């Protein structure tokens, strides 16, 4: 809540260099911290006004971040790192992750047709893919985005090569359902509310949540160019304080989460029915196969700051997967790049100023769905250690150890 003396940040030498910010977001449940920060009086306290700008595609959000039409944005973790590494067409640009916006809360859905074929598990899908004469098509939301990485990781963990055994295509979230209904795609990996919405409309089922792939995985971040942080350090810190305070507020009570869902369903934000947003935001899952559960790793936007801390190992993981799937032809300087992108010092200042716990660790340790551990150590070896991959230049003898 309002900290001891927020005005000190506004009037002193720490006053934001730029008081009016243009913030980009995509119509997804995990944009909640930005919408709440901008509309519920969290920004004025720190001398900022936030203009929310809804974007129609990740590509346009990226372009506007680069040309300065947006100051900062709700971004896919992978999008920021792909820009940093110059993987996409726009060339390399120094980027910054100001803070994590959320963990968990994405999902892989399959079509009603696959359900009729009895394909309701990873094992059944593996058999179907290897026996069927036609290749299935799976959609994700951006070539270097998190949904592509969750889809690839999940498929590979079930013995399905995401780039050889199936077609992988990009479809904007809002069009997933239409393409599924038209039979142009057989499944998709997407952020909420689009997975819950498909289940709600009896258009297929949720085969796997992203948190079943990696409990408490990194997902969206508050991203901007490095130039923006360097030119506006006070603004960037004030922005993190405002968004962090909003994240904390959202998770302060069940009622706050419900109210957040109501706000998000508004026309200016997600413009989606409350029934598609609220249940999974509260952790109530049903998969469309008759299973219901309360998910302990549902969408977190705060988790006492654990969902917001920009761990180096989180950023590095996306680089290992880019390497694994051939998006990077050589090993980057994993640790060096992550140190430059993750704005840990700035985050620490902001978190400390508003009393959010901030652990001193740079790495965190996780176990993923295939039983493998990731803790940030030896990223190059980790990237090379998967049996299914697309490491382009890897000598054939080494591909199947």
Q: How far is the CB of 238 from another protein (least distance, A)?
A: 11
User: CA angle, corner 225, sides to 351 and 34, nearest 5?
Assistant: 50
Beta carbons within 10 angstroms of residue 178's beta carbon: 12
Q: How far is the CB of 169 from another protein (least distance, A)?
A: 34
Return all residues near 306 (Cβ < 8 A) that are at least 6 apart.
103, 216, 300, 359
Q: How far is the CB of 45 from another protein (least distance, A)?
A: 7
| Closer residue to another protein in complex, CB, 254/381 | 254
Q: Name the token pair of 70.
A: 């947006």
Torsion of CA 349, 350, 354, 355, to 10 degrees: -50
Distance of CA 84 to the CA centre of its chain: 17
Q: Following DSSP, what letter does each residue of 338-391 receive, concatenated?
A: HHHHB-HHHHHHHHHHTT------S---EE-TTS-EE-SSSHHHHHH--SS---
Q: How far is the CB of 88 from another protein (least distance, A)?
A: 28
| Closer residue to another protein in complex, CB, 18/126 | 18
Q: How far is the CB of 19 from another protein (least distance, A)?
A: 5
Q: How far is the CB of 230 from another protein (least distance, A)?
A: 19
| Closer residue to another protein in complex, CB, 116/267 | 267
Tell me phi and psi for residue 52, to 5 degrees. -85, 130
Q: How far apart are CA 64 and CA 156, in angstroms?
A: 34
Q: How far is the CB of 91 from another protein (least distance, A)?
A: 25
User: CA angle, corner 384, sides to 383 and 386, nearest 5?
Assistant: 90
| Closer residue to another protein in complex, CB, 222/270 | 270
| Closer residue to another protein in complex, CB, 46/142 | 46
Residues β-bridged to residue 107 = 190, 209
| Closer residue to another protein in complex, CB, 304/375 | 304
CA distances from 45 to 48, 262, 334 (A): 7, 24, 37
Evaluate whether 103 touches 33 at the Cβ level (below 8 Å): no
Q: Following DSSP, what letter does each residue of 54-95 receive, concatenated?
A: E-S-HHHHHHHHHHTS-SEEEEEHHHHHHHHHT-STT----E
| Closer residue to another protein in complex, CB, 3/286 | 3
Return all residues near 225 (Cβ < 8 A) that are at least 6 apart.
65, 66, 93, 94, 95, 96
- Interacting residues with another protein (CB under 8 A): 1-2, 18-20, 36, 39-41, 43-45, 47-49, 249, 252, 255-256, 258-260, 262-263, 265-268
Q: How far is the CB of 312 from another protein (least distance, A)?
A: 34
Q: How far apart are CA 363 and CA 376, in angstroms?
A: 6
| Closer residue to another protein in complex, CB, 262/367 | 262
Q: How far is the CB of 7 from another protein (least distance, A)?
A: 9
| Closer residue to another protein in complex, CB, 45/212 | 45
């Amino acid at each position: 809540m309002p900290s001891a003396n927020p005005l000190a940040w506004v009037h002193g030498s720490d006053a934001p260099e730029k008081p009016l910010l243009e913030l980009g977001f995509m119509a997804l449940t995990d944009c909640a911290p930005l919408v709440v920060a901008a509309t519920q009086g969290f920004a004025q306290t720190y001398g900022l006004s936030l203009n929310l700008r809804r974007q129609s595609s990740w590509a346009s959000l990226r372009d506007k971040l680069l040309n300065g039409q947006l100051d900062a944005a709700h971004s896919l973790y992978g999008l920021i790192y792909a820009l940093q590494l110059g993987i996409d067409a726009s060339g390399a640009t120094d980027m910054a992750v100001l803070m994590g916006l959320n963990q968990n809360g994405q999902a892989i859905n399959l079509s009603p047709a696959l359900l009729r074929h009895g394909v309701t598990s990873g094992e059944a899908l593996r058999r179907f893919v290897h026996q069927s004469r036609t290749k299935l098509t799976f959609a994700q939301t951006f070539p270097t985005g998190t949904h592509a990485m969750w889809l690839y990781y999940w498929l590979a963990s079930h013995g399905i090569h995401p780039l050889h055994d199936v077609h992988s295509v990009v479809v904007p979230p809002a069009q997933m359902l239409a393409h599924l209904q038209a039979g142009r795609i057989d499944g998709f990996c997407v952020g909420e509310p689009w997975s819950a919405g498909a289940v709600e409309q009896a258009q297929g089922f949720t085969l796997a949540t992203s948190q079943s792939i990696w409990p408490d995985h990194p997902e969206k971040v508050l991203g901007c160019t490095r130039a923006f942080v360097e030119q506006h350090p006070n603004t960037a810190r004030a922005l993190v304080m405002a968004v962090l305070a909003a994240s904390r507020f959202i998770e302060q009570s069940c009622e706050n989460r419900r109210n957040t869902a109501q706000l998000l369903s508004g026309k200016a934000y997600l413009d989606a029915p409350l029934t598609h947003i609220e249940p999974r935001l509260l952790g109530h899952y049903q998969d469309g196969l008759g299973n219901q559960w309360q998910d302990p790793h549902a969408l977190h936007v705060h988790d006492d700051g654990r969902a917001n801390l920009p761990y180096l190992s989180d950023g590095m993981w996306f680089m290992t997967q880019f390497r694994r799937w051939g998006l990077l032809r050589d090993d980057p300087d994993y640790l060096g790049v992550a140190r430059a992108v993750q704005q840990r010092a700035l985050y620490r200042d902001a978190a400390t100023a508003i009393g959010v716990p901030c652990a001193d660790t740079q790495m965190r340790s996780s176990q993923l769905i295939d039983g493998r551990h990731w803790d940030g150590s030896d990223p190059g070896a980790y990237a090379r250690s998967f049996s299914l991959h697309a490491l382009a230049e890897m000598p054939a003898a080494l591909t199947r150890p």
